[in-house]
Amino acid sequence: MTEAPKAGSLTADPIAGLEGVVVAHTALSDVDGQNGRLVLRGKPIEELAGKATFEEAVRHLWYSYIFSDLTTLLQAFGAARAEAFATVPVLEAAASGLSIYERMQVGLSALPLSQDRPHPISISAALPVFLAASFRLANGEMPIAPDPRLSMAEDLLTMMFGNTSDADHVAALDRYLVTILDHGLNASTFTARVIGSTEANLKQAVLGAMGALSGPLHGGAPGPVLDMIDAIGTPGNAEAWIGEALARKERLMGFGHRIYRTRDPRADVLKDGLKALATTTPKVKLAEDIETAALAALKKARPGRVLDTNVEFYTAVLLDAIGIDRRLFTPLFAVGRTPGWCAHVMEQQETGKLIRPASVYVGP
């Protein structure tokens, strides 16, 4: 009998990671990695983020599948948030050791879906409600009911913090949610499409996508970005701290990307969001200094590979600047990406084709 390959010997597999493999046609978003451009259904991200509200951007993305005028969509989202709040007792009863993210997944599993409203609306509206309720429960506070008259971003801040939100912060959160709405076939969107292709329901596809998003190589990075900024502490420490991390072969969170061979355009969209805030914090300046030091160190340490700033670096800085706890970074990413996942599942299901690739057997 032939020997099984030794552990680790498959890392040289040229198809590991599916890099460059095309697995779908999509009209939803185009990620141009060479030129650092992101287009959402015909519009560059710079025309949407900071200019459109989250609902306007979602309406734009969903246009081919869920056509509605903006007022109707706002009302449907508001009503769906109110309905989702009825599921919050399930979150309260969930085991206390669960993370905020896991509680959101529990809530989503338990969410009843009616046939009276498109499921993408019900699911996209429920996750912000579950996020805010889980956050408050984790802090020993009572969940706050949504206000269906508010926009998603304003209601989310109100449900989290309980007071009327600063317009500046609502605009920053809207900008963030629009920025991350959709991004080609990233790992979580691919997961959603694979699940959707089996004709599983949308809830299952979003739950699976949330699982894929949670890892540090995808949506789990911004919390560790802030940990890194805090650990460095002052600009003078940046070079040494980063040099030591790279010498230990660690990855710098918030840098590098599978597709972009230049700067992730979303990093600048979010950095512009910092400039739009009325007040700044010392951490913002520190982050900019750390970014400069990190880019110089990465250039030196990995001369053969372009490793530039990705979306997660300024996600951490912007969300922190508007007072969002780092435990909420990945949960918020899921809230912003959910309508994107839903759109991809609808697009995939339109093809009627099961995604089922092949593998090359190299075992004994």
| DSSP letter, residue 155 | H
| DSSP letter, residue 30 | E
CB burial string 195-204: b at 16+ within 10 A, e below: bbbeeeebbb
State in angstroms the smallest separation of the CB of 256 from ligand ACO. Answer: 2
Candidates 5, 15, 17, 162: give the one binding ligand ACO (CB under 6 A).
17
Candidates 41, 257, 271, 344: give the one binding ligand ACO (CB under 6 A).
257
Judge whether 108 and 126 are in contact, CB under 8 Å.
yes
* Tally of CB atoms within 10 A around 90: 16
Residue 129 as a binder of ligand ACO (CB under 6 A): the answer is no
Residue 256 as a binder of ligand ACO (CB under 6 A): the answer is yes
Residue whose CB is less far from ligand ACO, 20 or 364: 20
Residue 329 as a binder of ligand ACO (CB under 6 A): the answer is no
How many residues sit close enough to ligand ACO to count as binding (CB under 6 A)? Answer: 21
Residue whose CB is less far from ligand ACO, 194 or 252: 252
Residue 320 as a binder of ligand ACO (CB under 6 A): the answer is no
State in angstroms the smallest separation of the CB of 24 from ligand ACO. Answer: 18
H-type alpha helices, 11-87: 45-48, 54-62, 70-85
Using the structure block, give the residue that is written with the tokens 């099984």.
4
Residue 128 as a binder of ligand ACO (CB under 6 A): the answer is no
State in angstroms the smallest separation of the CB of 329 from ligand ACO. Answer: 11
Give the per-residue contact string, 226-255, with ligand ACO (x = CB under 6 A; - = no). Answer: -------------------------xxxxx
Residue whose CB is less far from ligand ACO, 49 or 106: 49
Residue 311 as a binder of ligand ACO (CB under 6 A): the answer is yes
Using the structure block, give the residue that is written with the tokens 């650990």.
231
Rg over CA atoms, the chain: 21
Candidates 218, 261, 283, 327: give the one binding ligand ACO (CB under 6 A).
218
Q: Which stretch binds ligand ACO (CB under 6 A): 117-125, 127-135, 274-282, 308-316?
A: 308-316
Catalytic residue among 119, 169, 183, 257: 257
E strand or H helix that includes residue 39: strand 37-40
Residue whose CB is less far from ligand ACO, 219 or 265: 219
* Of 177, 201, 197, 213, the residue nearest 109 (C-alpha): 201
Q: Which stretch binds ligand ACO (CB under 6 A): 81-89, 108-116, 135-143, 303-311?
A: 303-311
State in angstroms the smallest separation of the CB of 68 from ligand ACO. Answer: 29
Whether 218 is a known active-site residue: answer no
Judge whether 109 and 211 are in contact, CB under 8 Å.
no
Q: How far apart are CA 28 and CA 24, in angstroms?
A: 11
Whether 183 is a known active-site residue: answer no
* Of 184, 197, 240, the residue nearest 33 (C-alpha): 184
Q: How far apart are CA 364 and CA 361, in angstroms?
A: 9
Residue 258 as a binder of ligand ACO (CB under 6 A): the answer is yes
Q: How far apart are CA 251 and CA 287, in angstroms?
A: 17
Give the pairing of strands 37-40 and 43-44. Answer: antiparallel
The CA angle 28-29-31, to the nearest 5 degrees, is 160
Residues classed as catalytic? 257, 312
Binding site for ligand ACO (CB under 6 A): 17, 186, 216-219, 221, 251-258, 302, 305, 307, 310-312
